Amino acid sequence: MKTYLVTGAAGFIGSNFVKYILDKYGDNIEVIILDALTYAGNLASIKNELELPNVTFIRGDVGDRELVQRIMRDNDVDYIVNFAAESHVDRSITNPRLFLETNILGTQNMLDCARDAWFTGKDAQGHNTYAPGKKYLQISTDEVYGSLAKDFDEPQPLELGDDVREVIEGRTDLKTYGRHFFTEETPLAPRSPYSASKTSADLITMAYHETYGLPVNITRCSNNYGPYHFPEKLIPLIIKNILEGKKLPVYGKGENVRDWLYVEDHCKGIDLVLRQGTVGEVYNIGGFNEESNINIVKQVIAIIARIMREEPEYQQLLKCSVDDINDGLIEFVTDRPGHDMRYAIDPSKIARELGWYPETPFTVGIEKTIRWNLDHQPWVNSVTSGDYQRYYEEMYGNR
């Protein structure tokens, strides 16, 4: 039986990962969740999982050395998956110090505690040895690579090598806005306090591998979307504002391009790297779904308008007329400082080595995401009202 220590598992991607591994492995694994429950941490996202006998929740900070050491000492942890991070670029611009403390020092503390717990001695060459089957996985982002050029105003067909084409069977909708992509060899060039803090975390992770021999991997993903997404991010914010008849803020002219990855596909990739990835390697996990922000917004508007007309039972969620759901809701706002023009990941390495590929086309994933939001309005409302923060006190305040 494998024991996972998953940090930040009350957040968006972390909660989906916990659901994925529990669904896949059931009671053949133990899951320990460590989460500080900051603004984006929501226990309601993993409410059902917390009731399972093989899941333990601990409220705490990844930077708390004594706490993490105790967790490692009291449990035979096999895998550490570090999702814990401050992750919103706009917030990093207004309060960069918080990002440095959590994303850099928190990561360093988790690495140190893993090294202490798993260390077994020295080999004949004087190199550190660790208990077998252990691994630390740092969850990172494509933003560490900086920005790519947007070479085409309209997307062009994406050309792939035969080896990758064989892996991604079923995906025929591949397109790109540029000639170049982020690979694992792309130089790191962060452009915001957030991405700089994640870059630093990646570097310290690899330093622990090179210096101490700690078994690590790093995954770098493109923009995720899907269930349980905190509604300050683009897609859930747009869905929420459409239902409320509010304007839809779009930076600049909406020309910035992102590579969108359905969160369940990402979780599958993380688990593959954790169990089969070569120690010391970095793996890019991308969606092969490049799209401009303005097109994303227009697609969400069109899908919600269609659903409301074809399935009128959903109209009870609206605070506006169905006729008001159109592109007139779009409002262009002043672009944020250092806004990267284009992100596009090349996930060929993980496709070739581990057989992973992003199974979900954006047209499928975005409708699934919208319908999830429509069907889970109590969750959305609890997050936007702050009720999710009271949920912790109700569940754990007297424990």
Give the start-to-end residue ranges of the domains of the chain. 2-396
Q: How many CB atoms lie within 10 A of CB 177?
A: 25
Architecture per CATH, domain 2-396, reads as: 3-Layer(aba) Sandwich (3.40)
Residue type present at position 156: Q
The set of residues, in sequence order, having a beta carbon less than 8 Å from that of 304 and lying 6+ positions away, is: 239, 242, 243, 325, 370
Is 194 among the residues known to form the active site? yes
Catalytic-labelled residue, pool 61, 143, 202, 290: 143
The tens-digit pLDDT sequence of the chain (399 residues) is 999 999 999 999 999 999 999 999 999 999 999 999 887 788 999 999 999 999 999 999 999 999 999 999 999 999 999 998 765 555 656 667 777 888 999 999 999 999 999 999 999 999 999 999 999 999 999 999 999 999 999 999 888 777 677 667 667 778 999 999 999 999 999 988 889 999 999 999 999 999 999 999 999 999 999 999 988 788 999 999 999 999 998 989 999 999 999 999 999 999 999 999 999 999 999 988 999 999 999 999 999 999 999 999 999 999 999 999 999 999 999 887 778 899 999 999 999 999 998 999 999 999 999 999 999 999 998 887 765 445 445 544 444
> What is the Cα–Cα distance from 20 to 180, expressed in whole angstroms?
32
DSSP state for residue 182 in the 8-state scheme: B
Q: What is the pLDDT of residue 337?
A: 78
Q: What is the pLDDT of residue 137?
A: 98
Catalytic-labelled residue, pool 136, 145, 194, 262: 194
Q: Return the half-sphere exposure (C-beta side, CA atoms, 13 A cut-off) of residue 377.
A: 12
DSSP state for residue 159 in the 8-state scheme: P
Q: What is the pLDDT of residue 107?
A: 96
Catalytic-labelled residue, pool 49, 61, 142, 290: 142
Q: What is the pLDDT of residue 388?
A: 45
Q: What are phi and psi of 59, to 5 degrees?
A: -85, 125
CA-derived radius of gyration, the chain: 21
Is 283 among the residues known to form the active site? no
Is 143 among the residues known to form the active site? yes
Q: What is the pLDDT of residue 118?
A: 98
* Residue carrying the six token digits 């806005």: 177
